[in-house]
Structure 1
Amino acid sequence: MERPIDFSRGRYLLCGQCGRRWVVDLDWIDRWEQAREFCPGCGVTCEVATAPRVTVDPDDPALADEVVAELVWYHTSTQSDWPKHDFNPAAELTQETRLRMGGDHHVAAWAERQRAKALHVGTYEAAIHNMLRRIDHQADHGSQFYLYRVRLVPSITVREGWLIDPSDFVGDVVLGEVCPPGVDVARYLNYHEDPGALSLALGRSAIASTQQIAIPSLSGDDSGWADVAVDELELAAATSPSPAGSRPTWGRGTASPKRGRARELAAPLAQRLPVNLRRQFEAAAAFDDSQQPEAWARYVVGLMSLLLTPQRVLAELDRETGRGL
């Protein structure tokens, strides 16, 4: 069961001070985070510890235990075989790294902690948001990402109710802490990716199958933007003044002519997106001087397709054969 995809939908807020709950748009939340809005019930701003935060939409279908396994879920990863059936996090450690970690005993303990971590799946919006966040904050610019559509085992047991996002500061959740014996899946309110939506923490055994595509893989309908962008980048390189000396000076903290022009070309595209995705999109769309202009332009168009025409992405997933776990 697919859910409607809407990056710009309204979000429910719940005030921890007066208990008021109401719906706002993303522009309101952006102003709120700058202390330019206040709770209409009690007047508190974001600077107060009990200030309003996003909360779950009461009409979210994932609130119904019996529907959780019927819904399709999504995940983005740089792993081309997520989730690995026989996950061995120590497999690629060199002997030198093992020694630095304190030897085989410490490596084994570390590997067990890694295997104890929950997997995460969420809405399509949360999966794309996760990719953009990683590019922006975790040095994943230039990495190949994959989008996974996830179907769950029909007989899973869902933990009652939902949790406030249990992730630690690096986004990890210990599976056993949220899914006690007899429970396969725990719902949690996602604060960071598709804020206000429910995501799931679960183990590998709760996943029945996945479909995967490399992203961004679609050119979409760019109305000629890519061709114009390529011409503009080539013109910027051809008309830029020759830097003094034998090497370009823009490698020392200033943008090269192509990088600067690429930033200008991407800025109007970012303005077409919800306010909470604009900065991350600009980070993902940053031009690298090692890229060919045409490859960069097609990549940017693919990013826009993920955000503005998700039905194209779902259609591509429909053509992929599912992989059972």
Structure 2
Amino acid sequence: MERRIDFSRERQMLCGRCDHRWRVNLEWIDRWEQGEETCPGCGMTCQHEDAPQVTVDPDDPALDDDRVARFFWYHTSTQADWPTRDFDPAAVLTPETRRVMGGEQRVSAWVARQRAKALHVGTYEAAVHNMLRRIRNQADQQSQFYLYRVRLMPSVVVRQGWLIDPSDFVGDVVLDEVCPPGVDVARYLNYHEDPGGLSLALGRDAIAGVQQVPVPLPDTWDGGWVRDAVAALEGVSGTVVPATGKPARLMRTSSLRAVLARELGASLAGRLPVNLQDQFASAAAFAEGEDPEQWARRTSGLFDLIDDPTRVLAALDQQDPREV
């Protein structure tokens, strides 16, 4: 069952001091994070330890235990076979790496910890947001990403209620800590991607199957924007040197084509929800020497993931589910 996709929907805020709850838009949250808004109940700013934070919407349909397994859930990854059936985290370790880690006994302990981690799935919005965040923060711009639509086993047992995001500083969750014996899935409030939405921590056995498409879709073609962007980029050449007080040998030059591509990407970013604009601009960065048409198609495809998900959802509908 597909839920309504809305990157710009309003969010619920809850104050940790006065328990005031209210609904805000993304522009309000952006101003709040810059110290320009306060709690309507007590006047607290974002700088306090118990400052208001985004919270779960009490009308979120995923709060209904019986509906969790009926919804589609999403994940983005650079793995072409996520979740890997025979997951072996040590397969990529070289003999030198194994030695540095302290030998086979410590490698085995590390493998056990990796296998004990929960998988994460969430809303469509959270999956796209996660991909853009990775591109920006983890130098994954040139990586091929895949969007997965996840179907859960109908018999999954859902942990009662929901948790505050249990992830550690690198986003890991130990499955047994959130899903005790007899529980297959735990809901948690996602602060970082699709803030206020519910995501799931779960094990591989909770997943019945996945559908997968590459993102952006390989046949992306916006006859208007892509054509105009390619024509504009192919019409410029040369380099531009920024005006700075640094010695010439320390100044970094950019091609006029790269400067124009940044402007074109920024123009698209400005049409997106405010909490995605910086991440999208980073994802749309133009690499020196990149083919203009390839860049324009990729950038347009990323934009469409947010602005009009219908094409990618239709592409997923055409894929046979892969059993996990």
Report the TM-score range of the alignment, normalised by the length of the smaller protein.
over 0.9
Matches within 5 A, 1:108-257: 108-217=108-217, 222=222, 224-237=224-237, 240=239, 253-257=252-256
Other structure's SS at 1:208 match: strand
Shift of 1:255: 2.5
Output the CA distance in 1 between the equivalents of 2:250 and 2:183: 53
Aligned match of 1:55: 55
Output the CA distance in 2 between the equivalents of 1:111 and 1:21: 43
Unaligned residue ranges in structure 1 (runs of 5+): 243-248
Against the structure 1 CA distance between its residues 105 and 269, is the aligned structure 2 distance closer, same or farther, given a 3 Å change threshold? Answer: same
Show CA shifts across 1:99-140 (max 9, x none). Answer: 111111111111111001000000000000000000011111
1:88 aligns with 2:107: no
Against the structure 1 CA distance between its residues 223 and 272, is the aligned structure 2 distance closer, same or farther, given a 3 Å change threshold? Answer: farther
Aligned match of 2:259: 260
Show CA shifts across 1:54-88 (max 9, x none). Answer: 00011111101111101110000000000011100
Divergent runs of 4+, >2 A? 218-223, 239-242, 249-256
Unaligned residue ranges in structure 2 (runs of 5+): 242-247
Give the alignment's TM-score, normalised by structure 2. Answer: 0.95
Output the CA distance in 1 between the equivalents of 2:41 and 2:126: 29
Other structure's SS at 1:305 match: helix
Aligned match of 2:292: 293
1:12 aligns with 2:12: yes
Root-mean-square deviation (CA, aligned residues, Å) is 1.6
Aligned match of 1:270: 269
Residue identity in the other structure for 1:230: V
Output the CA distance in 2 between the equivalents of 1:150 and 1:58: 24
Output the CA distance in 2 between the equivalents of 1:253 and 1:76: 34
Other structure's SS at 1:3 match: coil
1:280 aligns with 2:279: yes
Shift of 1:229: 1.2
Residue identity in the other structure for 1:263: R
Output the CA distance in 1 between the equivalents of 2:251 and 2:140: 22
Output the CA distance in 2 between the equivalents of 1:221 and 1:58: 39
Residue identity in the other structure for 1:21: R
Shift of 1:221: 6.6
Aligned match of 1:27: 27
Contact 2:2-2:72 at 8 Å conserved across structures: yes
Other structure's SS at 1:75 match: strand
Output the CA distance in 2 between the equivalents of 1:143 and 1:220: 17
Contact 1:218-1:313 at 8 Å conserved across structures: no
Contact 1:121-1:199 at 8 Å conserved across structures: yes
Contact 1:159-1:187 at 8 Å conserved across structures: yes
Against the structure 1 CA distance between its residues 155 and 250, is the aligned structure 2 distance closer, same or farther, given a 3 Å change threshold? Answer: farther
Aligned match of 2:244: none
Give the alignment's TM-score, normalised by structure 1. Answer: 0.95
Contact 2:18-2:41 at 8 Å conserved across structures: yes
1:70 aligns with 2:75: no
Shift of 1:222: 3.3
Contact 2:125-2:193 at 8 Å conserved across structures: yes
Contact 1:184-1:203 at 8 Å conserved across structures: yes
Output the CA distance in 2 between the equivalents of 1:179 and 1:240: 56
Shift of 1:251: 9.9
